[in-house]
Chains A and B, each alone.
Chain A
């Protein structure tokens, strides 16, 4: 089908701590195709940020990749030296961080910060690099870029700073853009602008995006495909419609159920807290918080069950021998929409 850019297989990452090894990433596999947006959803500690840091070779010193591979085209990123990573980072794989207040250098003019990757990676002359920096500033919608290119980060508002961070990330036209909660620190109106900008730029320069967030509303608007992470594992993945309208894993149900929509009258919280990954549970990590947990959930890790060609979920509920359960009413409502959508599609076809 489309070209595969990244292929992550059986990734396992541990953090060495005084208390023992924290198993932050436990057997994670996913891939990224050209031009698509993959959203990774999960709460803090689920391992979504660690996963993407490993793609950039930016893991902390006490982290150890215990197993697996990260194939970028035909090369394994995990086998690269720091020097080799430096030529990939920022050029082929770029990253936008969460906090635009801290990810810019306060002592450098923004023009210089945008031109830096061009000078470093593309060996461009300073003049030419600044000219290109000016172009990308226009592209990300900075008003009066000729003047503002000579200003410092503190002279910009939060939303404008995030635009600059995006400009830096995109200036080399990277193949992969990793956006780690890029709009969490911003107001909703500014968030909407930044998301629109990212979509627009994606279609212009054909970047593939890995979008990390805990905001399902943002995911619904941005993603082509979604991977849901919990306690260091992917528990369900599929197209955005499959995850939002036909979710299968009780954790995905819980997440969708605990998000208020503008029309919801009752919120159902997920009880309890995520497990301690120093000693991860043997079975389904979500079992302790799930009303749908069965005996086998506590004893044995569920494998991925196929729902469709693009949709897989790791829950024993999908096992042929599992009892039929009725998901929460909000999920039933969504699943009804899903069958309607499919019916409409087949009518059209």
Chain B
């Protein structure tokens, strides 16, 4: 299915190190590669410190990557030279942040928050068009146009996150990075925001990178999923494959830890404990992504491929 789709984003051997040249070097993202196809949602899961947020930030060029390539719509974003190229890139890729309380300027009205991108990119001819655009956006995200004259503190968490989404949509992006967009919201509101993101994707053909630690939510929204651990991408596949046929031990342990709202299931739950020691010894056993079944990759060394092939086959029976 994915072969005939266009790759919108290619991340190739991305490395993002901090404190390079010092003794406290941190390899936040270490040799991560994946593709995102046009119109799909790619979910990135992992525990805190796994490097999923850093990956998102490197993609949108909030950091200068240490090494590797990020190719967006055919262009390497690290090689964008002219102002106008960079300008266009920033219009096409937008971000929705985790904390709806911290990501909106408390001293700006909703109108100006949402219109900031419109102004920077000169998308509106005059003031009337600008207001019209903002009001339309607010309607799209389920707020109403009277809200445009209010300040962020007058809104609830879920409403603020809708404002953040409207701001991202204002510049008509192709690609949106949503970094834990719902983790600060109440359960009953989370589903509202996730469904809104899904509807917008269908209507506007958006592509998402959805970063979260809530595995069941990621499973629900994503077409494909990548699992990160200690800065490395361990497994990539369709969300069904990753959840029902996990290959890597870490993925299996992560899934086994997700609490399920079903007491009968919980009583019989067996948590799988992951032993990270199999990760070391990188020098003697270089690991890279191997395709075990079509579209389902796992990070392993050459001699481990057979083991994973066997594991994949065991799911088929």
Contact = CB atoms under 8 A, between A and B. Distances in A.
Given A260-B217, A260-B220, A219 B190 contact: no
A196 B271 contact: yes
Given A189-B47, A260-B216, A262-B260, A271 B192 contact: yes
B140 interface: no
B186 A261 contact: no
A218 B192 contact: no
B74 interface: no
A240 B220 CA distance: 25
Nearest to B45: A188
Given A187-B48, A189-B47, A191-B257, A258 B188 contact: yes
Interface string A24-56: 000000000000000000011000000000000
B286 interface: no
Nearest to B256: A192
B261 A262 contact: no
B183 to A, nearest CB: 10
B213 interface: yes
A214 B191 contact: no
B271 A258 contact: no
Given A216-B261, A220-B259, A270 B191 contact: yes
Interface residues of A, number: 41
Interface stretch (B31-39, B81-89, B262-270): B262-270
A215 interface: yes
Contacts of B188: 43, 254-255, 258, 269-270
B101 to A, nearest CB: 12
Interface string B245-278: 0000000011111111111111101010010000
A216 B260 CA distance: 7
Interface in A262-293: 262, 264-265, 267-271, 273
B215 interface: yes
B266 A262 contact: no
A289 to B, nearest CB: 8
A244 interface: yes
Nearest to B261: A216
A188 B187 contact: no
B195 interface: yes
Interface in A210-259: 214-221, 240-241, 244-245, 254-256, 258-259
A337 interface: yes
Nearest to A189: B257
Given A187-B47, A269-B192, A244 B187 contact: no
B158 interface: yes
Interface of B: 47-48, 156, 158-159, 186-192, 194-195, 213, 215-217, 219-220, 243, 253-267, 269, 271, 274
13 contacts: A43-B188, A188-B259, A190-B47, A191-B259, A192-B257, A214-B187, A241-B264, A258-B191, A260-B220, A262-B216, A270-B188, A270-B191, A273-B189
Which 4 pairs across A and B sit closest by C-beta, in order of nearness? A217-B259, A269-B191, A221-B266, A258-B191
